[in-house]
Chain A
Amino acid sequence: MPEEEPPSAFTPTRRTVLKAGAAATAIPLWPREASADSTVPMSLRVNGKVYEQVLEPRVTLLDALRERIGLTGTKKGCDRGECGACTVHVDGRRIKSCLTLAVMQQNREITTVEGLAGGELHPVQAAFLRRDGFQCGFCTPGQVMSAVACVAEGHAGSDDEIREWMSGNLCRCGCYPNIVAAVRDAAEELS
């Protein structure tokens, strides 16, 4: 996916010029409709804190978190919902933040990996450390967010069940045995 340029970094390119041309024939707007060639004010509640943002409607939740709010713990792997590196919680449910628009997630409670630990590591994070559930670490924030939900949903009753319910998170280093062990540990500790 081409990078979404923030308005402050705007430099005309062939693409943006073509887009501006297209905007001349813009469709009539519905009342309160956010127009295509402008940004929309929106308020995103992340880890208990409200962030007032002004974004284009096409900005994904993932890009809003990383590039605008500056919470870079959530990772962009495939940007197509296949790898799970961008997993966050919305109203307590795990989702892939690359597959939803920021504008769609207003007034929801968004939790990223930065919001997981209180004074000390979350038991799932501690279990990943103890079990060495990673190598390069790129998929780990998504794995951890998914694992927290997996345990809370009651889907960590056996190794097979953990493998099935963690299947939306890929690890190209292949640390799966240790990831499964970490989730199993955390599930026992949290039960």
Chain B
Amino acid sequence: MDSFTYTRPDRPADAVALGTAPGSRYIAGGTDLLNLMKDGVQRHDRLVDINSLPLNDVRVSDQLVRLGSLNRMSDVAAHREVVRRLPALAQALLASASPQVRNMASLGGNLLQRTRCWYFRDATMPCNKREPGSGCAALDGMNRWHAVLGGSDHCIAVHPSDLAVALTALDATVRVLGADGPRAIPVAEFYPLPGDTPHVESALRPGELITGVDVPVTELAGTSRYLKVRDRATFEFAVVSVAAAVRVSGDVVREARLVFGGVAPRPWRSHEAERELVGRPLDDQAISAAVTALVRDAVPREHNAFKVPLLQRATTDVLRRFRRTR
């Protein structure tokens, strides 16, 4: 790890002033950043430790769960109101990483963790994300873990966060603070697709700091579920994951959310699949139509074609569970 300066401001405005300076990077849990720095994937002149900032709050009302960005994954996953009102959020957090890492990693850092594409993480390999213009080794390489939806000719890395997938399904908003003041960004607009600029990974402007996440409390959110399919039973990134919420009344689906992880460069919401469900009974026919629509634009590569039927089966499984619990 290359050396850097270290500072720990107490006030968000000071943190942002420091964080906006060239060469600065925020550190919260450090569970991804330090690995990237040890491996020479990232180098920073200054680390701004944000752990003294007052961003640990959890506020629950009948309309909204407001979570400060420094809340640790384990604490949010165990929060009674989160478990009750936003089940997919708690389930996604518990399906992430290991107990030790969940005690360390913050919500904000989780949203900004970088892809587990091993070509990106190997500083000796070409990677358009790490070094724009150097090429993408995954396109014709070992792309078993890579995107089947939303990729480009420049990058097919997948976003690794389970949390981001759940938050997208729950219509959450990311609160940020920058040199120009605070603003809110819907999670659905937080992650750009790679296109020909895969190094642009979020809607954050330089120096902007994530201060919290707001999650609306709705009847739909209360139905949400998270299913994660992995190469081993636990402590692994998703091959495919599904965050789903379905509101049924009078035997007809009134509202549906289907968002997927492990298959795209960002949490992948399928409006097409949702449309196949709404206004119909949640029968096998509707589910089949939804999972057909879901993969219509899929672009499988040499080693990841299995993700297409796996995604369909995982989604079918999750949707049938809504039927059973009704």
Contacts and interface: CB of A to CB of B under 8 A. Distances in A.
* Co-complex (A, B): yes
Interface of A: 1-2, 4, 19, 26-27, 29-30, 32-37, 40, 56-58, 60, 79-81, 84, 87, 93-96, 98-101, 103-104, 146, 149-150, 153, 155, 163-165, 167-169
Interface of B: 1-9, 18, 21-23, 27, 29-31, 34-35, 38, 45-47, 49, 51, 74, 97-101, 103-104, 233-235
A96 B100 contact: yes
Contacts, number: 116
B99 A150 contact: yes
A1 B34 CA distance: 11
A100 B6 CA distance: 13
Given A27-B21, A104-B27, A167 B235 contact: yes
Q: Which 10 A-B pairs have the closest CB atoms?
A: A168-B98, A57-B6, A33-B7, A167-B235, A36-B3, A34-B6, A167-B234, A1-B38, A93-B103, A99-B31
A94 B101 CA distance: 9
Nearest to A88: B100
**Residue among B1, B5, B23 facing the most chain A CB atoms (10 A cut-off):** B5
Nearest to B28: A104
A149 B99 contact: yes
A39 to B, nearest CB: 10
Given A30-B18, A146-B99, A99 B104 contact: yes
A167 B34 CA distance: 21
Nearest to B104: A95
B99 A81 contact: no
Contacts of A79: 38
B98 A104 contact: no
A96 B104 contact: yes
Nearest to A31: B7
Given A36-B45, A96-B100, A168-B98, A29 B5 contact: yes
